[in-house]
Amino acid sequence: MTSDSQMLAGRTIIVTRAAERAGGLTSLFIDAGAKVLEIPVTTTVDALDGGQALQTAIDTIEQYEWVVVTSPEGAHRFRDAMALLGATPRQFKIAAVGTATAAAVGGADLIPHVQTGRSLGESFPTGHGRILLAVAESAGTDFEVAARGKGWTVERVTTYRTVSIPPTHDRSGEISQADAITFASASSARAWHDVFGVMMPKVVVAMGPMTASALNELGIPDVVVATEQSLQGVVNATVEALASR
């Protein structure tokens, strides 16, 4: 199903994506006819070292056989750092946890069927070279544990941190009137829960299985998971979920 114009006419959708990355998803929902409430509960900030570890890794990028990115934000930051430092065309391969992350880094050689770090680790080939793992400070360790078990040397570099931001005013009335809410990351799900608890519309849409798992752990059942881990995939999943209600 596509999110053609007016498929969400009369519907109000909450977008919780980090403030600096919300615009693309908001635009897609508006194009589908929805009213959008942007209620970001997180923002992204630089790594504690100001990006020094990432710069050092890129300065010696030729030593890596693979670069692995696990989130769109991390992928953006890696790609921007490569461009800023004038890195030469890549000789390494790129693996990305999902299609949205692959798009953010400019394409990937490997994307797992199930878009999680664990699945990427399971589908990763056996080898003995070096991997640059460019991730958020809070990223899990499923991929690197699996990769090390297959013989790889993994260098984990923090590309950014996710921090919570409190709402500037009471949003409970708006939330109660919304038709659906979308989450693009597990960190945004946890930050929302910290602020609002389980207060949210009946239709809850997650970009990927890791985000859905975080919501389930927070006591949110019946989460709709986008078939494709992309912004358009989130819109499509929202359209389909609301069409049946």
Residue-by-residue DSSP string for 47-105: -TTTTHHHHHHHHTGGG-SEEEE-SHHHHHHHHHHHHHTTPPSP-SEEEESSHHHHHHH
CATH fit for domain 46-162, picks 3.40.50.10090, 3.20.20.210, 3.40.50.460, 3.30.70.260: 3.40.50.10090
Question: What's the pLDDT tens digit per position in 152-186?
Answer: 999 999 999 988 888 888 899 999 999 999 998 88
pLDDT value for 5 = 66
Question: Chain-centre distance of CA 172, in angstroms?
Answer: 25
Residues contacting 95, CB < 8 A, separation 6+: 66, 67, 68, 69, 108, 109, 110, 111, 120, 124
pLDDT value for 166 = 82
Question: What's the pLDDT tens digit per position in 19-32?
Answer: 667 678 999 999 99
> Does residue 198 contact residue 220 with C-beta atoms inside 8 Å?
yes
Higher pLDDT pick, 49 / 19: 49
3: pLDDT strictly greater than 70? no
DSSP assignment, residue 192?
H
126: pLDDT strictly greater than 90? yes
Which residue pairs, CB below 8 angstroms and at least 24 apart, start in 165-174?
Answer: 165/19, 165/40, 165/41, 165/42, 165/43, 165/191, 166/195, 167/39, 167/41, 167/195, 171/37, 171/39, 171/196, 172/196, 172/199, 174/37, 174/39
pLDDT value for 1 = 42
**Please, what is the average pLDDT of the chain?**
90
Question: Domain residues of the chain, as ranges?
Answer: 12-41+165-243, 46-162
Domains 12-41+165-243 and 46-162 share a fold: yes
Question: What's the pLDDT tens digit per position in 206-242?
Answer: 998 889 999 999 999 999 999 887 889 999 999 999 9
CATH fit for domain 12-41+165-243, picks 3.90.650.10, 3.40.50.720, 3.40.50.10090, 3.30.413.10: 3.40.50.10090
Q: How far is CA 163 from CA 25, 28, 156, 236, in A?
A: 20, 25, 20, 28
Q: How far is CA 82 from CA 18, 60, 62, 73, in A?
A: 23, 11, 12, 14
**Binning pLDDT at 50, 70 and 90, where does residue 95 land?**
very high
Closest CA to 136 of 55, 211, 45: 45
Residues 190-207, mean pLDDT to the nearest whole number: 94
Dihedral sign for Cα 28, 31, 214, 98, please: negative
What percent of the chain has a predicted confidence (pLDDT) above 90? Answer: 67
